[in-house]
Amino acid sequence: MTHENSQIKLVFKNQTIFLTGATGFLGKVMIAKLLTDCEDIKRIYMLLRPKKGKNSEQRFEEIFEQPCFELLKSKTSNWKEKVSLIEGDCEEPFLGISDDNLKILKNEVNFVIHLAANVRFDQSLKKAANNVKSTADLLELSKDIVNLKCFVLVSTAYSNCIYSHIKEEIYDPPIQPELLFSMVNGLDESVLTNLTPALLRKKWANTYVYSKCISEHLMKGAAKNFPTTIVRPSIVMNSVKEPEVGWIDNIYGPIGLRQ
Protein backbone atom coordinates (compact mmCIF):
# COMPACT_ATOMS: atom_id res chain seq x y z
CA MET A 1 0.00 0.00 0.00
CA THR A 2 1.12 3.55 -0.65
CA HIS A 3 2.21 5.54 2.43
CA GLU A 4 -0.11 8.35 3.44
CA ASN A 5 2.50 11.03 2.71
CA SER A 6 4.13 9.40 -0.30
CA GLN A 7 5.36 11.46 -3.21
CA ILE A 8 3.20 9.39 -5.55
CA LYS A 9 0.01 10.42 -3.75
CA LEU A 10 1.10 14.04 -3.69
CA VAL A 11 1.98 14.03 -7.41
CA PHE A 12 -1.41 12.67 -8.47
CA LYS A 13 -3.53 14.71 -6.06
CA ASN A 14 -6.27 16.50 -8.05
CA GLN A 15 -4.65 15.37 -11.31
CA THR A 16 -6.19 13.88 -14.45
CA ILE A 17 -4.60 11.02 -16.39
CA PHE A 18 -5.13 9.88 -19.96
CA LEU A 19 -4.28 6.18 -20.22
CA THR A 20 -3.96 3.91 -23.24
CA GLY A 21 -3.78 0.13 -22.88
CA ALA A 22 -6.35 0.02 -20.08
CA THR A 23 -7.56 -3.48 -20.98
CA GLY A 24 -4.08 -5.01 -20.70
CA PHE A 25 -2.66 -6.57 -17.55
CA LEU A 26 -0.42 -3.62 -16.70
CA GLY A 27 -3.20 -1.20 -17.50
CA LYS A 28 -5.68 -2.83 -15.14
CA VAL A 29 -3.10 -3.09 -12.36
CA MET A 30 -2.17 0.57 -12.78
CA ILE A 31 -5.80 1.73 -12.71
CA ALA A 32 -6.49 -0.35 -9.60
CA LYS A 33 -3.40 0.97 -7.83
CA LEU A 34 -4.05 4.62 -8.67
CA LEU A 35 -7.71 4.53 -7.65
CA THR A 36 -7.06 2.54 -4.48
CA ASP A 37 -4.06 4.39 -3.08
CA CYS A 38 -4.35 7.85 -4.64
CA GLU A 39 -7.78 8.70 -3.25
CA ASP A 40 -7.45 12.34 -4.27
CA ILE A 41 -6.83 11.64 -7.96
CA LYS A 42 -9.29 13.62 -10.04
CA ARG A 43 -9.97 11.42 -13.08
CA ILE A 44 -8.59 8.70 -15.35
CA TYR A 45 -9.61 8.87 -19.01
CA MET A 46 -9.18 5.50 -20.72
CA LEU A 47 -8.85 4.96 -24.46
CA LEU A 48 -10.90 1.98 -25.64
CA ARG A 49 -12.02 0.58 -28.99
CA PRO A 50 -14.75 -1.89 -30.00
CA LYS A 51 -13.35 -5.44 -30.25
CA LYS A 52 -14.59 -9.00 -30.80
CA GLY A 53 -18.23 -8.02 -31.12
CA LYS A 54 -18.22 -5.79 -28.05
CA ASN A 55 -18.50 -2.03 -28.14
CA SER A 56 -16.26 0.31 -26.17
CA GLU A 57 -18.81 0.78 -23.38
CA GLN A 58 -19.11 -2.98 -22.81
CA ARG A 59 -15.35 -3.41 -22.67
CA PHE A 60 -15.08 -0.46 -20.29
CA GLU A 61 -17.55 -2.08 -17.87
CA GLU A 62 -15.81 -5.48 -18.10
CA ILE A 63 -12.48 -4.04 -16.99
CA PHE A 64 -13.85 -3.47 -13.50
CA GLU A 65 -15.22 -7.01 -13.18
CA GLN A 66 -11.67 -8.32 -12.74
CA PRO A 67 -10.51 -9.57 -9.29
CA CYS A 68 -7.83 -6.88 -9.16
CA PHE A 69 -10.53 -4.31 -8.38
CA GLU A 70 -12.04 -6.09 -5.36
CA LEU A 71 -9.80 -4.22 -2.91
CA LEU A 72 -10.75 -0.90 -4.50
CA LYS A 73 -14.47 -1.68 -4.30
CA SER A 74 -14.19 -2.64 -0.64
CA LYS A 75 -12.23 0.50 0.23
CA THR A 76 -14.12 3.27 -1.56
CA SER A 77 -17.57 3.84 -2.97
CA ASN A 78 -16.99 6.76 -5.35
CA TRP A 79 -14.25 5.22 -7.50
CA LYS A 80 -16.50 4.91 -10.56
CA GLU A 81 -16.99 8.67 -10.64
CA LYS A 82 -13.28 9.00 -11.39
CA VAL A 83 -13.05 6.85 -14.54
CA SER A 84 -14.25 7.84 -18.01
CA LEU A 85 -14.21 6.29 -21.45
CA ILE A 86 -12.58 7.93 -24.46
CA GLU A 87 -13.48 6.01 -27.61
CA GLY A 88 -10.59 5.52 -30.01
CA ASP A 89 -8.18 3.07 -31.57
CA CYS A 90 -4.36 3.15 -31.54
CA GLU A 91 -4.33 1.74 -35.06
CA GLU A 92 -6.29 4.71 -36.41
CA PRO A 93 -4.71 8.06 -37.41
CA PHE A 94 -4.29 10.16 -34.27
CA LEU A 95 -5.84 7.30 -32.33
CA GLY A 96 -9.28 7.88 -33.86
CA ILE A 97 -10.25 10.32 -31.11
CA SER A 98 -13.20 12.63 -31.89
CA ASP A 99 -12.79 16.40 -31.92
CA ASP A 100 -15.03 16.73 -28.86
CA ASN A 101 -12.94 14.28 -26.86
CA LEU A 102 -9.73 15.93 -28.03
CA LYS A 103 -10.99 19.18 -26.51
CA ILE A 104 -11.64 17.41 -23.22
CA LEU A 105 -8.16 15.90 -23.16
CA LYS A 106 -6.53 19.17 -24.16
CA ASN A 107 -8.17 21.10 -21.34
CA GLU A 108 -8.23 18.55 -18.52
CA VAL A 109 -5.31 16.12 -18.74
CA ASN A 110 -2.13 16.47 -16.68
CA PHE A 111 -0.43 13.12 -17.33
CA VAL A 112 -0.43 10.92 -20.45
CA ILE A 113 0.52 7.27 -19.85
CA HIS A 114 0.96 5.31 -23.08
CA LEU A 115 0.73 1.61 -22.26
CA ALA A 116 -1.01 0.34 -25.39
CA ALA A 117 1.03 -1.79 -27.79
CA ASN A 118 0.83 -4.92 -29.87
CA VAL A 119 3.15 -7.13 -27.80
CA ARG A 120 3.18 -10.20 -30.06
CA PHE A 121 6.73 -11.27 -30.84
CA ASP A 122 5.78 -12.86 -34.16
CA GLN A 123 3.89 -9.89 -35.62
CA SER A 124 4.72 -8.49 -39.04
CA LEU A 125 6.73 -5.31 -39.33
CA LYS A 126 3.62 -3.56 -40.65
CA LYS A 127 1.71 -4.45 -37.49
CA ALA A 128 4.64 -3.58 -35.22
CA ALA A 129 4.96 -0.19 -36.91
CA ASN A 130 1.58 0.71 -35.37
CA ASN A 131 3.38 0.80 -32.01
CA VAL A 132 5.58 3.57 -33.37
CA LYS A 133 2.80 5.40 -35.20
CA SER A 134 0.49 5.49 -32.18
CA THR A 135 3.32 6.91 -30.08
CA ALA A 136 4.08 9.54 -32.72
CA ASP A 137 0.42 10.54 -33.02
CA LEU A 138 -0.12 10.69 -29.26
CA LEU A 139 2.99 12.82 -28.82
CA GLU A 140 1.71 15.17 -31.50
CA LEU A 141 -1.70 15.41 -29.82
CA SER A 142 -0.03 16.03 -26.47
CA LYS A 143 1.52 19.25 -27.74
CA ASP A 144 -1.93 20.83 -27.41
CA ILE A 145 -2.56 19.70 -23.84
CA VAL A 146 -2.63 22.89 -21.83
CA ASN A 147 -1.42 21.63 -18.44
CA LEU A 148 0.62 18.56 -19.38
CA LYS A 149 3.07 17.66 -16.62
CA CYS A 150 4.52 14.48 -18.10
CA PHE A 151 4.17 12.02 -20.98
CA VAL A 152 5.05 8.47 -19.92
CA LEU A 153 5.90 5.79 -22.47
CA VAL A 154 5.93 2.20 -21.23
CA SER A 155 8.54 0.43 -23.32
CA THR A 156 10.47 -2.78 -22.57
CA ALA A 157 13.79 -3.70 -20.99
CA TYR A 158 14.66 -5.35 -24.31
CA SER A 159 14.14 -2.26 -26.47
CA ASN A 160 17.91 -2.03 -26.96
CA CYS A 161 18.75 -5.72 -26.91
CA ILE A 162 21.65 -5.32 -29.34
CA TYR A 163 23.74 -3.94 -26.46
CA SER A 164 25.17 -6.06 -23.65
CA HIS A 165 24.78 -3.26 -21.10
CA ILE A 166 21.80 -0.91 -21.17
CA LYS A 167 22.08 2.53 -19.62
CA GLU A 168 19.27 4.92 -18.72
CA GLU A 169 19.50 6.76 -21.98
CA ILE A 170 17.85 6.82 -25.40
CA TYR A 171 19.85 5.03 -28.08
CA ASP A 172 19.96 5.70 -31.79
CA PRO A 173 17.12 3.90 -33.60
CA PRO A 174 17.78 1.21 -36.22
CA ILE A 175 15.74 3.27 -38.68
CA GLN A 176 14.24 6.76 -38.61
CA PRO A 177 10.48 6.72 -37.86
CA GLU A 178 9.63 8.65 -41.03
CA LEU A 179 11.41 6.07 -43.20
CA LEU A 180 9.66 3.23 -41.40
CA PHE A 181 6.26 4.83 -42.02
CA SER A 182 7.14 5.40 -45.66
CA MET A 183 8.09 1.75 -46.10
CA VAL A 184 5.05 0.20 -44.41
CA ASN A 185 2.69 2.53 -46.26
CA GLY A 186 4.35 2.28 -49.66
CA LEU A 187 5.56 -1.30 -49.97
CA ASP A 188 3.56 -4.41 -50.69
CA GLU A 189 3.15 -6.68 -47.66
CA SER A 190 5.11 -9.51 -49.26
CA VAL A 191 7.99 -7.19 -50.14
CA LEU A 192 8.03 -5.81 -46.61
CA THR A 193 8.05 -9.34 -45.18
CA ASN A 194 11.05 -10.25 -47.31
CA LEU A 195 12.86 -7.10 -46.22
CA THR A 196 12.22 -7.59 -42.50
CA PRO A 197 15.18 -9.93 -41.75
CA ALA A 198 17.56 -7.43 -43.35
CA LEU A 199 16.05 -4.58 -41.33
CA LEU A 200 16.39 -6.54 -38.10
CA ARG A 201 20.00 -7.26 -39.11
CA LYS A 202 20.07 -10.50 -37.09
CA LYS A 203 20.47 -8.30 -33.99
CA TRP A 204 16.94 -7.43 -33.05
CA ALA A 205 15.10 -10.34 -31.45
CA ASN A 206 11.76 -9.51 -33.07
CA THR A 207 9.70 -6.70 -34.57
CA TYR A 208 8.20 -5.82 -31.18
CA VAL A 209 11.47 -4.76 -29.52
CA TYR A 210 12.49 -3.15 -32.82
CA SER A 211 9.37 -0.97 -32.72
CA LYS A 212 9.92 -0.05 -29.08
CA CYS A 213 13.44 1.23 -29.74
CA ILE A 214 12.12 3.49 -32.50
CA SER A 215 9.29 4.67 -30.23
CA GLU A 216 11.82 5.62 -27.56
CA HIS A 217 13.66 7.72 -30.14
CA LEU A 218 10.44 9.72 -30.68
CA MET A 219 10.45 10.57 -26.99
CA LYS A 220 13.83 12.22 -27.31
CA GLY A 221 12.46 14.76 -29.77
CA ALA A 222 9.28 15.29 -27.77
CA ALA A 223 11.27 16.15 -24.65
CA LYS A 224 11.90 19.55 -26.22
CA ASN A 225 8.18 20.33 -25.87
CA PHE A 226 7.21 18.81 -22.50
CA PRO A 227 8.55 16.49 -19.76
CA THR A 228 8.82 12.85 -20.82
CA THR A 229 9.58 9.57 -19.08
CA ILE A 230 10.32 6.09 -20.41
CA VAL A 231 9.62 3.01 -18.29
CA ARG A 232 11.26 -0.27 -19.31
CA PRO A 233 9.65 -3.24 -17.53
CA SER A 234 11.22 -6.64 -18.01
CA ILE A 235 9.27 -9.90 -17.88
CA VAL A 236 5.64 -9.42 -16.85
CA MET A 237 4.42 -11.95 -14.28
CA ASN A 238 1.64 -12.33 -11.75
CA SER A 239 1.32 -9.93 -8.83
CA VAL A 240 3.02 -10.80 -5.55
CA LYS A 241 0.64 -9.08 -3.12
CA GLU A 242 -1.26 -6.28 -4.83
CA PRO A 243 -3.86 -5.82 -6.07
CA GLU A 244 -4.59 -9.52 -5.52
CA VAL A 245 -2.12 -12.18 -4.39
CA GLY A 246 -0.86 -14.11 -7.41
CA TRP A 247 -3.30 -12.47 -9.81
CA ILE A 248 -2.77 -12.41 -13.56
CA ASP A 249 -5.24 -12.18 -16.42
CA ASN A 250 -3.35 -14.06 -19.12
CA ILE A 251 -0.35 -16.25 -19.83
CA TYR A 252 2.84 -14.18 -19.82
CA GLY A 253 6.44 -15.44 -19.93
CA PRO A 254 7.20 -18.23 -17.40
CA ILE A 255 3.57 -18.23 -16.20
CA GLY A 256 2.76 -20.50 -19.14
CA LEU A 257 4.97 -23.23 -17.66
CA ARG A 258 2.53 -23.65 -14.80
CA GLN A 259 -0.44 -24.33 -17.03
Does some domain include residue 42? yes
The separation between CA 228 and the C-alpha centre of its own chain, rounded to angstroms, equals 14
Structure confidence by residue, pLDDT tens digits, 33-90 = 999 999 999 999 999 999 989 999 999 999 999 989 998 999 888 899 999 999 999 9
- Structural domain contains residue 257: no
Whether 209 is in a domain gets the answer: yes
Domain limits at 61? 7-252
Q: Per the domain annotation, does 1 fall within a domain? A: no
DSSP string, 15-64: -EEEEE-TTSHHHHHHHHHHHHH-TT--EEEEEE--BTTB-HHHHHHHHT
User: Is residue 233 in some structural domain?
Assistant: yes
Has residue 259 got a pLDDT over 70? no
Residue 2 located in a structural domain = no
Mean pLDDT computed over every residue of the chain = 92
Cβ neighbours of 35 (radius 10 Å): 24
pLDDT in tens, 200-237: 988 999 999 999 999 999 999 999 999 999 999 988 88
Domain of 38, CATH number, reads 3.40.50.720
Query: Nearest-CA neighbor of 126 among 58, 184, 85?
Result: 184
In a domain, 30, yes or no: yes
> What is the DSSP code string of 154-202?
E--TTTTTTSSS--SSPPPPSS-HHHHHHHHHHS-HHHHHHHHHHHHTT
138 within domain boundaries: yes
Number of domains in the chain: 1
